């Protein structure tokens, strides 16, 4: 086998191991996250999502899947990636409010019926910490999905919040596993709200 073959085989093996670990540990909190999000949507709330770096792309994927569709043709669901607006992001950072990039938007858009979804491959960013605090101030529920079993945001969560913590993974592996979990989350939300619908 070539070096490329070895690398790819090892990568796939690591991916499968991480997926297997997530399957055993994330099932229950994933179900709780579905309940939280669908309860928000049924109460005419919305999902605000955010992430840093690669996880911002995952937040956009999740929001697009709710807004448009995941697998079933059905009504649009309100989901907003507050990390997607580059102009607002730049304006906040220009005023040296780097840590408030998400929290200011949560305070502006968040309502008591809404849910905040935090995606982080490590969970130790002050911008995430402040976003959670802002969500709680607004009476929102919070779901976190992190690539670390222990992180700064862990201690901030309330009993009614949902924490999906992956085994300590490298950022690349964490992003892969998060995508699998987000796919499952989208499918379960569609199923709970709309049942089996024709594509």
Domains located in the chain, CATH noted: 3-194 (3.40.50.10490)
- Which of 145, 168, 141, 136 is CA-nearest to residue 50? 145
Mean pLDDT of 16-40: 88
% residues pLDDT > 70 (the chain) = 96
CA dihedral 164, 167, 184, 121 (to 10 degrees): 70
Q: Is the pLDDT of residue 150 over 80?
A: no
Reading the block at residue 15, the tokens are 């991916």
Q: What is the mean pLDDT of the chain?
A: 89
CA 164 from chain centre, in angstroms, equals 9
Whether residue 105 contacts residue 82, with contact meaning beta carbons closer than 8 Å, is answered with: yes
Spell out the residues 6+ positions from residue 135 whose beta carbon is closer than 8 angstroms to its own: 48, 106, 110, 116, 141, 142
Q: Which whole number is the average pLDDT over 43-54?
A: 94
| Per-residue pLDDT tens over the stretch 8-23 | 888 788 778 777 777 7
Q: 41, 116 in Cβ contact below 8 A?
A: no
CA distance 24 to 108: 37
């Amino acid at each position: 086998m070539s070096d490329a073959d070895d690398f790819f085989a090892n990568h796939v093996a690591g991916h499968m191991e991480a997926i297997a670990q997530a399957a055993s540990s994330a099932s229950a909190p994933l179900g709780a996250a579905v309940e939280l999000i669908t309860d928000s949507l049924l109460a005419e709330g919305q999902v605000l999502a955010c992430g840093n770096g690669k996880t911002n792309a995952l937040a956009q994927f999740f929001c697009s899947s709710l807004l448009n569709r995941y697998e079933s043709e059905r009504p649009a669901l309100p989901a907003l990636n507050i990390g997607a607006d580059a102009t607002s992001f730049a304006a906040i950072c220009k005023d040296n409010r780097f840590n408030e990039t998400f929290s200011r938007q949560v305070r502006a858009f968040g309502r008591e019926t809404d849910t905040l979804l935090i995606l982080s491959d490590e969970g130790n960013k002050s911008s995430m910490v402040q976003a959670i605090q802002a969500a709680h101030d607004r009476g929102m529920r919070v779901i976190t999905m992190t690539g670390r079993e222990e992180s700064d945001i862990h201690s901030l969560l309330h009993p009614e919040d949902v924490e999906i913590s992956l085994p300590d993974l490298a950022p690349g592996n964490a992003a892969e596993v998060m995508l699998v979990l987000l796919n499952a989350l989208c499918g379960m939300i569609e199923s709970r709200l709309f049942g089996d619908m024709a594509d």
